[in-house]
Chains A and B, each alone.
Chain A
């Protein structure tokens, strides 16, 4: 048995493992991996997402168990310190020695920190690991407490620097990008496009300083500014350095491998270093005298190294490596591909620029007009994938190549056809090297009819994610060619089903209704799509109704249920119906003070009716002071989890139904969904809580809990169906987590769970397959998405009451303090009620 040691558990090191175990049987090779970072390999490309959700787990490439299952010995937090080529051994920081037959170096690179006076001061950071981000965030938080409008500089205006700029802006600091060159993204953009980008970024609040050489970093102990020349100082409270990368080649150097003059370990097209038993892959490898700072070439290198070790000699690295890139996350499209700028003797350029719209498009075409050589897109990169494919596959150009960037204008030939026109060999996902042919076959022959299914089957889209729109197109077009598509568009403004729209929002990270309309819709929206989209935002980002109030249904907009006469009702949460005498007194006192009609609802809580708009914040302020929070009775969201008293009091009870119901109600409170959801928990099969009447229900039985889903009262009563039997609370909760999340993601608008299940192919068995057997491979994702919603819950009434801007929305008139004199009440059994309609 031979031993392969991998040094470095980063993106490429991980990819090596993945490809390796897929190809060898475990008895012939032993795989040992060392990683210096405390975490298992994670997705560095999407590092910035850590800001959005603070969830490091989500970035993990594969959990530790995966390594175990595949018999990979993994040592994290363990740096390899020496390689002894004579004895074919390595030693680690903890002075352990291991023997190898093959050694794979995947040590990546570290940020380049220029030798400027003062770079060692507090408040200077780099941007590469999760720990870097955590440190930066912690520092930013500290600064924000003492400085009113804190500023942060980013040294370096390249791809990564701009991403970092967006990140510090999201941290609430004023971003300043400082670039040595006279233009932004000097490697990818020409002067004009860089200018267009600069203007756009400045309009977004990112300050740009070009042609600045930093002399020193100012400050006593911690950074307070940057000095460029005499009298040229920029005051900042924090600095992030993003000035390029340097390969982590110290191991190669000390054991005498052949090195590049400016660093990096030299490899041939088999990824072999100057020692035939040592390979180097990823950002450490110097191939064609270049370090490729992108994942796609790194992944390809990993594949080559695997094959070479297994003796498949003909797999070698391509001679030319595509360095096309698209900037992500910044809120403005930027992409360049092929040869972005090029001397006139090689071809001619077609340039379109519209400064007022911050648009710049350039394509470079060969002299004979037959081939696309490269190009730049700023402001609108939706055609990037298609152009890139035309370039990579040397596809013939249309008669008028300018149509490629201007669109065809009246009667002329189409600028480009659909993704289906690509040759089958076109590599659509370059990170995973998946071709168009593979994707289409996977749809046709294996029945993978969604981007999700395709990505599971072929791994396409799992790298940088840039190919998702194109994979989406291919799936749709292939389905269409099979005569399979049933369009379920939600209204005239969006030609998508709710589920498709959900995926688009998530994929493109769209957070505003207006941007969504601009990007994937048409026209200006209506009362059907607005609340549907609001619900999608809520499900993905846990966005509360307050931010985009006017796309919410009326009840959500004012966080209260409108009643007959235009007054509102107020319902605080009383989880599982358990309420203390003190809370009862408080509700009584407040209801009396504002003269509200009170009634116990079917969901075991108290509804107070007849509040006028301007009274809502006053009432809630008092309720919140008494410890109540919103009951979300107004939302398409969790209403209540009804409970019976269970084993704490009831002589039949098998388990504590109230405790479980409270936990569950608190877990799902605030989660918005396609329609309202209700739950129930009964302490035994006598079923006093009517749990089988609810969207989800738990019933205690001998040996655990039975879980039921998709029950319904309402106009078409339906009994819930059994999802799982005799499971413990944790498992029961996990199944319902997944079921709810899956329902939230796939149901059409305003469809209760029962109706959803009726329409679902495969019915309850399919739900079991997804939720319990994880047949779609999405269980982990559903789990973490649900956990995110749970973790980010906030009472929206508290937010409304404390925020003067939101609070000011609660007036009947905008031009007078007067209230609506049209409202009339009459009395009813010692309370009030609205005057009846005629």
Chain B
């Protein structure tokens, strides 16, 4: 169980060595999230249409180790973009990965860029 958690490590934008071309923009619901598979990993990608920004993080909720974060509701807490897990509403910052309403482990976040009409996720390998 804990071992899957270790497969996800935050990537800072300076450290990106590979931009994975994930899917066309229109595949991601407006103001919502969807899940991308990359090399056995599940990455949740969020389209903050209102603000015009994108975020990505592990799809795995560190609370009960379920692959569900991409289906959570997104929103903002004093300007901090966040996602709330659909199972028990634990919420996590999408900037820092920090657990906002408790002290679960941080979640791993990933840089996202849009080029052409495609969504790319940044990994460092």
Please, what's the 1-or-0 string for B64-105, where 1 marks a CB less than 8 Å from any CB in chain A? 111110011111111100101011010100000000000000
Asked if B32 is at the interface of the complex by the 8 Å CB criterion, the answer is yes
Contact of A814 with B77 in the complex, beta carbons under 8 Å = no
Chain B, residue nearest A563 (CB) = B87
User: A689 to nearest B CB, angstroms?
Assistant: 32
Judged by DSSP, the binding face of A is loop
Asked if A203 is at the interface of the complex by the 8 Å CB criterion, the answer is no
Please, what's the 1-or-0 string for A808-838, where 1 marks a CB less than 8 Å from any CB in chain B? 0100111110101011000000000000011
Contact of B73 with A549 in the complex, beta carbons under 8 Å = no
Chain B contacts of A564 at CB under 8 A?
A: 64, 66, 87
Chain A contacts of B84 at CB under 8 A?
A: 526-527
- Considering only CB atoms and an 8 Å cut-off, how many residues of chain A contact the other chain? 36
Interface residues of A in 537-581 (CB under 8 A from B): 549-551, 553-555, 557-558, 562, 564-566
Interface residues of A in 766-813 (CB under 8 A from B): 809, 812-813
Contact of A814 with B27 in the complex, beta carbons under 8 Å = yes
CA of A812 to CA of B74, assembled, Å: 18
Contact of B67 with A566 in the complex, beta carbons under 8 Å = yes
Contact of A530 with B75 in the complex, beta carbons under 8 Å = yes
Known: A550-B32, A812-B35, A822-B67. Contact between A526 and B22, CB under 8 A? no
CA of A700 to CA of B36, assembled, Å: 56
Contact of A549 with B36 in the complex, beta carbons under 8 Å = no
Chain B, residue nearest A555 (CB) = B86
Please, what's the 1-or-0 string for B10-52, where 1 marks a CB less than 8 Å from any CB in chain A? 0000000000001100011111101111000010010010110
Contact of A550 with B37 in the complex, beta carbons under 8 Å = no
Q: Which of B34, B48, B73 contacts A527 (CB 8 A)?
A: B73
CA of A528 to CA of B45, assembled, Å: 21
CA of A531 to CA of B67, assembled, Å: 22
CA of A550 to CA of B86, assembled, Å: 12
Chain B contacts of A549 at CB under 8 A?
A: 29, 32
Contact of A524 with B76 in the complex, beta carbons under 8 Å = yes
CA of A553 to CA of B89, assembled, Å: 10
CA of A550 to CA of B70, assembled, Å: 11
CA of A838 to CA of B27, assembled, Å: 34
Asked if A369 is at the interface of the complex by the 8 Å CB criterion, the answer is no
User: B94 to nearest A CB, angstroms?
Assistant: 12
CA of A69 to CA of B82, assembled, Å: 59
Known: A514-B50, A549-B32. Contact between A816 and B37, CB under 8 A? yes
Chain A contacts of B35 at CB under 8 A?
A: 812-814
Please, what's the 1-or-0 string for A509-546, where 1 marks a CB less than 8 Å from any CB in chain B? 00000100100000111111111000000000000000
Chain A contacts of B64 at CB under 8 A?
A: 564, 837
Asked if A57 is at the interface of the complex by the 8 Å CB criterion, the answer is no
Chain B contacts of A525 at CB under 8 A?
A: 50, 75-76
Chain B, residue nearest A530 (CB) = B73
Contact of B78 with A492 in the complex, beta carbons under 8 Å = yes
CA of A564 to CA of B65, assembled, Å: 10
User: B18 to nearest A CB, angstroms?
Assistant: 15
CA of A530 to CA of B89, assembled, Å: 14
Chain B, residue nearest A491 (CB) = B75
Known: A554-B72, A813-B37, A822-B67. Contact between A524 and B27, CB under 8 A? no
Q: Which of B36, B73, B74, B76 contacts A813 (CB 8 A)?
A: B36
Contact of A554 with B73 in the complex, beta carbons under 8 Å = yes
Contact of A524 with B36 in the complex, beta carbons under 8 Å = no
Interface residue tally on B, bucketed by range: 35 or more
Chain A, residue nearest B84 (CB) = A527
Chain A contacts of B73 at CB under 8 A?
A: 526-527, 530-531, 550-551, 553-554
Known: A492-B78, A562-B87, A815-B22. Contact between A820 and B42, CB under 8 A? yes
CA of A525 to CA of B87, assembled, Å: 20
Chain A contacts of B23 at CB under 8 A?
A: 814-815
Please, what's the 1-or-0 string for A298-323, where 1 marks a CB less than 8 Å from any CB in chain B? 00000000000000000000000000
User: A604 to nearest B CB, angstroms?
Assistant: 27
From A524, A531, A822, name the one whose CB has the most chain B CB atoms within 10 angstroms.
Answer: A524
CA of A551 to CA of B84, assembled, Å: 12
Known: A565-B66, A566-B68, A816-B37. Contact between A822 and B42, CB under 8 A? yes
Chain B, residue nearest A528 (CB) = B75
CA of A809 to CA of B27, assembled, Å: 9
Contact of A818 with B37 in the complex, beta carbons under 8 Å = yes
Contact of B34 with A814 in the complex, beta carbons under 8 Å = yes
CA of A397 to CA of B67, assembled, Å: 61
Q: Which of A528, A550, A838 contacts B30 (CB 8 A)?
A: A550
CA of A654 to CA of B112, assembled, Å: 66
CA of A380 to CA of B100, assembled, Å: 37
Chain A contacts of B31 at CB under 8 A?
A: 514, 550-551
Chain B contacts of A566 at CB under 8 A?
A: 66-68, 71, 87
Please, what's the 1-or-0 string for B107-118, where 1 marks a CB less than 8 Å from any CB in chain A? 000000000000
Contact of B71 with A558 in the complex, beta carbons under 8 Å = yes
Contact of A562 with B86 in the complex, beta carbons under 8 Å = yes
Chain A contacts of B34 at CB under 8 A?
A: 813-814
Contact of B1 with A838 in the complex, beta carbons under 8 Å = yes
Known: A524-B50, A526-B82, A551-B31. Contact between A814 and B36, CB under 8 A? yes
Contact of A815 with B42 in the complex, beta carbons under 8 Å = no
Chain B contacts of A527 at CB under 8 A?
A: 72-75, 84, 89, 91
Contact of B42 with A557 in the complex, beta carbons under 8 Å = no
From B23, B31, B48, B89, name the one whose CB has the most chain A CB atoms within 10 angstroms.
Answer: B31
Chain B contacts of A815 at CB under 8 A?
A: 22-23, 27, 36-37
Chain A, residue nearest B36 (CB) = A815
Chain A contacts of B32 at CB under 8 A?
A: 549-550, 557
User: B100 to nearest A CB, angstroms?
Assistant: 11
CA of A103 to CA of B113, assembled, Å: 76
User: A410 to nearest B CB, angstroms?
Assistant: 23
Chain B contacts of A517 at CB under 8 A?
A: 50
User: B116 to nearest A CB, angstroms?
Assistant: 15
Q: Which of B22, B76, B91 contacts A814 (CB 8 A)?
A: B22
Please, what's the 1-or-0 string for A370-396, where 1 marks a CB less than 8 Å from any CB in chain B? 000000000000000000000000000
Chain B contacts of A529 at CB under 8 A?
A: 75
User: B99 to nearest A CB, angstroms?
Assistant: 15
Chain B contacts of A554 at CB under 8 A?
A: 71-73, 86
User: B110 to nearest A CB, angstroms?
Assistant: 14
Contact of B48 with A526 in the complex, beta carbons under 8 Å = no
Chain B contacts of A555 at CB under 8 A?
A: 86
User: A489 to nearest B CB, angstroms?
Assistant: 15
CA of A815 to CA of B87, assembled, Å: 24
CA of A816 to CA of B4, assembled, Å: 21
Chain B contacts of A557 at CB under 8 A?
A: 32, 71
CA of A525 to CA of B82, assembled, Å: 10
From A523, A553, A566, name the one whose CB has the most chain B CB atoms within 10 angstroms.
Answer: A566
6 further contact pairs, Cβ within 8 A, besides A562-B87, A566-B68, A814-B34:
A523-B76, A551-B31, A555-B86, A558-B71, A562-B71, A816-B37
11 contacts between A and B (CB under 8 A): A524-B75, A531-B73, A550-B32, A562-B68, A565-B66, A566-B66, A820-B67, A822-B42, A822-B66, A822-B67, A838-B65
Closest 4 CB pairs of A and B: A526-B75, A550-B32, A554-B86, A527-B73
